[in-house]
Amino acid sequence: MKKTIIVLSLLGNIFIYAQEKTNNQVKEKQIEGVTITQTKKAVEQKADRTIFDFSEQPALNSGSSLEGIKKLPGMVVTDIAGMMYQGKSLQVYMDGRPLNISTNDLTAFLEGMPASSIERIEVVTQPGAEFPATSGGAILNIITSKSAKSYLTATYSGGYRFSDYDKFRNKFNNSIALNSKNKWFGWQFSAGQNYNESFGSNELDDVSKGFNDKYSRSYFAKAATTFELGMDRLLLNYDFFNSNNDSYNTSEGVTLRKNPENLNIPEKTQYLNEGKSKNKNYRNEFTATYQKRFDNKNQKLDFKFNYSNFRNNFDQNAINTYYYLSGNSLGEISDFGNTSTQNAYNMRVDYSQPIKLLEEGKISIGGMYDKLNFRTDFMGIENLDYQRQTASMYTELNTKFKKFSFIAGLRAEDYDISGKSLNLESEKWDDLRAFKKFQLFPNASIQYDIAKLVYFNLNYSRKITLPSTGQLNPNNTTFQNPNVNISGNPNVQPTIFNNFEAKLSAFNYGFISYNVSKVNDQVMMYVEKDGFNITQTNVNISSLTQHSFNIAIPVPLMIFSKPLSEVMKFDFNPDKINFLYFYAGYQFQNIKEITDQKGMWFFNVTGQFLLPKGIKFAPTFSYSTKGNYYFFQSTQPIMNRVNVNLSKKFDGDRLTVSLFADDIFNSSRMNFKTVNTPTPIYLSNRWDSRTFGISVNYKIPTKNKLAKVDQNILNTETPKDDNGGVLNQGQ
C-alpha cells in the first residue's frame, strides 16, 4: 500500500514539478571543438502523433517490420480488421507517401522488409488539412530514410530466427544502408533480403480445416539523391520491392456434391484438398520533389510528383479428392491463376509562410491531383477495370495566444470513381456504383499549455477512406477450398469519419486520451454460411460509433529505492535506469445491427532492466480481453504474448547484438465468431508465433569524432516536426 501511494504521489507531483521548473534547466549550445551529444527519443508523444524510434531498439528491430509494428503499445493487427492504433484504422505510408497496398499484399510487404531498415515510425492520430482527407482514422508513417552525413556511412543489419513446431523452420534477413553528402549533393542507398519459413493453420466452423507450409523470399532496394541548388533542393527517390512466396496446402472438410452415379441428388461428401500456391509481388515507385526555400526559414514551397506501380500474380494448383458415402472416390484437378495491376499518379504543391496573427501564426495552402487505375484478370480474362481521380485544395491556419495554440483547416476534395466488372457466369460487363462527389473536410485543434511539456488538447477532424484495391478485387488471392470462397467486392463505397478527441499529455511520453468517431459506410469483412459452403467478402456497415480510451505512463523503479524528493529532481538519464512503461486502451463499437455488444481492453507492459556487464533485458507483455470487432467477437484474447530481448553493445557502441524470444508461452491465437448471423460462424487461425533468434547491427566507424548518439527512452525535449522524406537534412 505504501508503494502504491508513492507511485500516485509521483504522478501527481509531475505537474507540480513542471510548473516550478523554469530557468534552472541547462540549455545546450553548439560550441566548436566540443563533443555534442544528440538525444534520441525511443518513445515520443506529441499533440498529433506518437513517434517510435526503431533504429536503437533491439526489442523492435530484431525481426520483420510487421513483427516490430505488432509490438508497439496500442497497436492491434488482425486478419479481421487489419491494422488499428488506439482503436483507429490506419492508412500506411512510407517516407511520407501512401503505399497504396493493403490486406494480404500489405502483410507480405511488411513481412518481407526487415525491421532494422526502419529509422522510426510515426503514428499520426490527428492528420491535419495538409494530409489528404483519405487518411481516414490515422496514418502509420514508416520512415526508412536517415540523415546524410558529410562522410560515407554504412550500416549492416542481419538476423536469424527459428521456430520448432511440427518441424524446424528457418528465418533470416540481411540488409545494408549507405549514405553520404558533400557541398552539392547527398545520396542514400539501402538494399536487403528476407527469407522466412512459416506455417499457418485455420478452421472455418465445422466445414473446413486447413494447414499451409509457406516459404517466403523478398528483396528490396531504395535509392535517393538530393541536389543542393543554392537555397533550394531537388530530391529524387526510387524504391523497388519483390516477393516470391510458395505455399504448400492441405485441407479437409465437408461439402455437398452430386454423386457421379446419381447426378440429380446432391450428396454430403468428405473432401481432401492438396496443392500448392505461388504469389509474386512487384512494386516500383519513383518520386521527384523540388523544395523552394526563402530567407525566412519558415516560408516553404514544395512541388512533388509520385508514380507507383504494383503487380500481383497468384497461381493455385490443387487436387481435390471427394469421398462419397457409397464408397466411391473422385479426383479433380483445380488449376487457375489471377493477376492484378495498379498504377497510381500523384502531383501536389504545398506552400506555407508565417503571418502576424495574435502572437504568432502560420498559413499553409496547397493542392493535389491523384489518379489510380486498377485492373484484374482471372485465367487471362480481364474482369475488373476500376479508376478513380481526386482533385483537392486545402488551407490551414496556425496561431498562438499566450498559453493557447489554435489550428483551423479546411480541405476540399472532388472524387470521380467509376469502373466496370465482368460477370464471368453471364459474360456481361456491369457498371460499378459510381462515386462522383465534392466533399469538404474541416479540422480544428485547441491546445492549452499547462506547463512546459504538459498540455491539454481538443481535436476535431472529418476524414474519408477510399476502398483499397484488396477490398475491391473480385478474385481470390489466397488458397481456396472446395467449400470456401474468398473474394473482394468492387461495389463497396468510401467510408466517412467524424473524429473527436480530448488528450492530456505530459513530458512527451505519458498521456491520457478519449476519442469518439462517428463512422458511415465502414468497409468490413462479411462471412456467411449456406449449408456446407462459406463465403467471405467485403460490405459497408451503414453507421457505427466507435469509442476509444487510452492511457500510458512510465514508472521508474527507483521510486522503490530512493526518496521521492530525489526522484522528483529528474536528474537522471532514463536510458540508464530500470523502468516499466504501462499502456491500457479500451475500445467499444456501437453497431445498431449487433445486439451482443462487448468492448475490449488492451494492455501492454514494456520493461527495461540493466544487468551486469552492460546487458539490457527488455521484456514486453501484451494482453487483450474478449470483445467485439465489428461483425465478429473474439472467443479468446487476440493479444496474449510475452516477448523477451537481451542486448549488449560492443566496440564503442558500434556493434549491437541481441538474443530474443517472441511469444515464449506459445499463446497467440486468432479465434472469432460472427455476431451478425442467426447462428454463429466460428473462425480460428494460428501460426508459428513462438520464435527464437539473434540479430546483429554494425555501424562502420566514421571519421567524425564529434558525432555521438545517446539514446533515451524518455524524452527531454520536443524536436521539430518531420513528416518524412528521404535525406532528412537540416533546413
Contacts of 567 (CB under 8 A, 6+ apart): 10, 556, 558, 559
Q: Across residues 171-194, what is the average pLDDT?
A: 86
Query: Phi/psi at 166 (nearest 5 deg)?
Result: -75, -25
**Lowest mean pLDDT segment, chosen from 28-32, 162-166, 225-229:** 28-32
Q: What is the pLDDT of residue 702?
A: 57
Contact 194, 113 (CB under 8 A): yes
Query: Phi/psi at 724 (nearest 5 deg)?
Result: 110, -165
One-letter-per-residue 3-state SS of 455-467: EEEEEEEEEEECC
**Lowest mean pLDDT segment, chosen from 72-76, 434-438, 459-463, 593-597:** 72-76
Q: What is the pLDDT of residue 200?
A: 92
Query: Exposed, middle or buried, 514 (CB in 10 Å: 0-12/13-18/19+)?
Result: middle
Q: How far apart are CA 508 and CA 455, in angstroms?
A: 10
CB atoms within 10 A of CB 335: 11
Q: How far apart are CA 192 and CA 177, in angstroms?
A: 9
Q: How far apart are CA 37 and CA 572, in angstroms?
A: 15
Contact 662, 162 (CB under 8 A): no
Q: What is the pLDDT of residue 564?
A: 64
Three-class secondary structure of residue 576 per DSSP = helix
Cell numbers found for residue 298: 519558415
Please provide the DSSP assignment of 514-546 as one string.
EEEEEEEEEEEEEEEEETTEEEEEEEEEEEEEE
Has residue 11 been placed in a domain?
no
Has residue 168 been placed in a domain?
no
Q: List, for residues 615-638, the tens digit of each pLDDT value.
A: 999 999 999 999 998 889 999 998
Q: List, for residues 389-411, the tens digit of each pLDDT value.
A: 999 999 999 999 999 999 999 99
Cell numbers found for residue 143: 520512415
Q: Where are the beta strands (DSSP E) in 103-152?
A: 120-124, 138-143
Cell numbers found for residue 41: 527519443
Three-class secondary structure of residue 502 per DSSP = strand
Query: Exposed, middle or buried, 287 (CB in 10 Å: 0-12/13-18/19+)?
Result: buried
Has residue 24 been placed in a domain?
no
Has residue 20 been placed in a domain?
no
Contact 182, 150 (CB under 8 A): yes
One-letter-per-residue 3-state SS of 664-702: CCCCCCEEEEECCCCCCCEEEEEECCCEEEEEEEEECCC
Domain count of the chain?
Answer: 1
pLDDT at 275 over 50: yes
Has residue 495 been placed in a domain?
yes
Q: How far apart are CA 92 and CA 162, in angstroms?
A: 28
Q: How far apart are CA 517 and CA 538, in angstroms?
A: 21
Has residue 148 been placed in a domain?
no
Dihedral sign of CA atoms 716, 720, 724, 728 in order: negative
Query: Exposed, middle or buried, 168 (CB in 10 Å: 0-12/13-18/19+)?
Result: exposed
Q: Is 595 left (phi over 0), alpha (psi -120 to 50) or beta?
A: alpha
Has residue 712 been placed in a domain?
no
Three-class secondary structure of residue 573 per DSSP = coil
Q: What is the pLDDT of residue 712?
A: 34
Q: How far apart are CA 104 and CA 279, in angstroms?
A: 10
Q: Reduced to 3 DSSP states, what percent helix, strand and coil does the chain have, rounded to the nearest 5?
A: 10, 65, 30
Q: What is the pLDDT of residue 410?
A: 96
Q: Residue 531 sits in a domain of what CATH number? A: 2.40.170
Cell numbers found for residue 464: 474519408
Has residue 351 been placed in a domain?
yes
Vertex 244 angle, CA 238 and 245, to 5°: 140
Higher per-residue confidence, 117 vs 189: 189
Cell numbers found for residue 525: 469483412
Q: What is the pLDDT of residue 18?
A: 36
Q: What is the pLDDT of residue 469?
A: 81
Computed on alpha carbons and rounded to an integer, the radius of gyration of the chain in Å comes to 27
Query: Phi/psi at 559 (nearest 5 deg)?
Result: -65, -20
**Lowest mean pLDDT segment, chosen from 116-120, 425-429, 713-717:** 713-717
401: amino acid identity, one letter: F
Three-class secondary structure of residue 148 per DSSP = coil
Q: How far apart are CA 566 and CA 456, in angstroms?
A: 27
Of all helices (H) and strands (E), which one includes residue 111?
helix 103-112
Confidence of residue 545 (pLDDT cuts 50, 70, 90): very high
Cell numbers found for residue 166: 511440427
Query: Phi/psi at 327 (nearest 5 deg)?
Result: 100, -10
Q: How many CA atoms lie within 13 A of 508 on its CB side?
A: 19
Contacts of 27 (CB under 8 A, 6+ apart): none
Q: How far apart are CA 323 and CA 331, in angstroms?
A: 9
pLDDT at 518 over 90: yes
**Lowest mean pLDDT segment, chosen from 92-101, 257-266, 352-361, 658-667:** 257-266
> Among candidates 385, 364, 439, 356, which has minimal Cα distance to 134?
439
> Among candidates 128, 47, 131, which has minimal Cα distance to 404?
47
Q: List, for residues 579-593, the tens digit of each pLDDT value.
A: 888 999 999 999 988
Give residue 307's domain range.
174-643+658-689
Q: Across residues 404-423, what is the average pLDDT?
A: 93
- What pairs with residue 242 in β-bridges? 219, 282
Contact 211, 166 (CB under 8 A): no
Of all helices (H) and strands (E), which one includes residue 172?
strand 168-181
